[in-house]
Chain A
Amino acid sequence: MIWEVFRQDKPGAYHKHCGNVHAPDRELALQFAAVQHGRRMKTHSLWVVPHDEIGEIDADETSFGGTTDKTYRWATSYTDIEPAAPEVAESEAEQADVEKSLEADS
């Protein structure tokens, strides 16, 4: 059976998909993954998940975030309002980055 493998490079980071292994059960899947996906890259933790349990929906099937105008839910749209605090400015900057990547795709 096939197991999908997720790697976390350091404590507190996100586990990101990095590949898969063939293995008959979870214990062996973890041992195989530790070598196949942990031996060269910086690794703090790995997860393994049965491949068959993964579902998928993609942009052909649904329009993530919708297709009509939703500028009202972006901090960047409130142009007459200066961010009240540093944490608001930081959030706005993060949103601006995402907006840019969305625009680049459309």
Chain B
Amino acid sequence: MDLETVKERAGPRQFAPKDDMPEEYRKAATRMIQFHANSEVMGGYLEKPFIRQAPSIDRKLAFSAKVQDEIGHAQLLYRAAESLGIKTRDEMLDELARGDGKFLNCFHYPMESWHEVPMIAFFVDGAAMHRQATLKNTSWTPYAHAMDKVCFEEGFHVKHGESILSELMNGSKATQEKTQAAFETWWPRIIQFFGPTNDKSVHNDFAQEVGLKTKSNDELRDTFLDTYVPKAEKYGLVVPEYPRIEYDEELDTYHVNEDDLNWDEFWTIAKNASDGSHEQINSRAKAQEAVEWVRESMHGWEGASGAETPQAAD
């Protein structure tokens, strides 16, 4: 299929592994899905310590279930990326370990206290879900199928995150202040989750033309703000003065003044070059390197007993 045909046919769930897709499409889709899959792993990495540190047994259970879901999402997404025929899952995981795999800006920062937890578990997850819901209509069918399952599960994540926020903002004055401080630290990062404005984004146009994305960065950011600014305020969080967020009465939407955001930091992170990037990529990589011997053993077992296991009945 040539690129012109792809653009003509682009629509929800239009393309599948059997289609002869041009290399530009396959590379762009791989880049996007691999980024998404890596983000699930690195988001899970960031939240994992809070399984142990959760302050109630129910919260501990919910956190464990959530981190488990994130790894499940990574499994689905790497497979959707693999189905494009550009890279294997092992190659993508190796790239992540080497520091060549890219992932969401928010997961490059350390998260150290429970007060920060809802910044990821509510706002970032809410932002992710906001984007993912639109990706159910992506043109790469295996990606859309992964989104069906991811979106099914994520509702629990966002509500769990909001429940933690609600508990903290109903806590002692000190707890509320620390939560507000965490919010101020994370808020600009959360807004940057949606990336730079359309005109500065490198890959946006092409991804939309071939139907991989159905909404632009700007549209997603604005509609996210419409929902989550009032939510933050509902719990008594004060949205920081900067970056300036303006309400457009005519369009009934919030809009951020992007010059108020630190884009140097964003682009440093995009290159995996911040301190947090190094720390988080490397400590995960080190733990993964330590179980390389298990993966090698598993390769050795492949095919050994497949034909001998009991078979499915009709």
Contacts and interface: CB of A to CB of B under 8 A. Distances in A.
A54 to B, nearest CB: 4
A72 B14 CA distance: 36
A41 to B, nearest CB: 19
A80 B163 contact: yes
B30 interface: no
B29 to A, nearest CB: 15
B160 interface: yes
Contacts of B106: none
B311 A72 contact: no
A53 B306 contact: yes
Contact of B13 (A11, A80, A92): A11
A24 interface: no
- Report, as a range, how many residues of chain B touch the other chain: 35 or more
B163 A78 contact: yes
A20 B314 CA distance: 9
A52 B307 contact: yes
A75 interface: yes
Nearest to B131: A87
Contact of A75 (B133, B155, B231): B155
B156 A73 contact: yes
Given A12-B14, A55-B311, A56-B312, A74 B151 contact: no
Contacts of A81: 159, 162-163, 166
Central interface residue in A53, A83, A84, A90, by most chain B CB within 10 Å: A84
Contacts of B133: 86-87, 90
A23 to B, nearest CB: 16
A56 to B, nearest CB: 4
B16 interface: yes
Given A90-B133, A95-B155, A85 B311 contact: no
A72 B163 contact: no
Nearest to A95: B155
A14 B175 CA distance: 48
Nearest to B151: A91
Given A11-B141, A12-B13, A73-B65, A84 B306 contact: no
A80 B152 contact: no
B58 interface: yes
Contacts of B156: 73-75, 78, 91, 95
Interface string A45-73: 10000011111100000000000001011
Contacts of A13: 13
28 contacts: A12-B16, A13-B13, A20-B314, A51-B312, A52-B311, A53-B306, A54-B311, A55-B310, A56-B310, A70-B61, A72-B61, A81-B159, A81-B162, A81-B163, A81-B166, A83-B158, A84-B126, A84-B162, A84-B227, A85-B129, A85-B130, A87-B132, A87-B154, A88-B126, A88-B158, A91-B153, A92-B155, A95-B152
Interface of B: 12-14, 16, 18, 58, 61-62, 65-66, 69, 122, 126, 129-130, 132-133, 141, 144-145, 151-156, 158-160, 162-163, 166, 227-228, 231, 306-307, 309-314
Given A12-B144, A51-B311, A78-B156, 11 more contacts: A72-B62, A80-B166, A83-B155, A85-B158, A87-B132, A87-B133, A87-B151, A87-B155, A91-B153, A91-B154, A91-B156
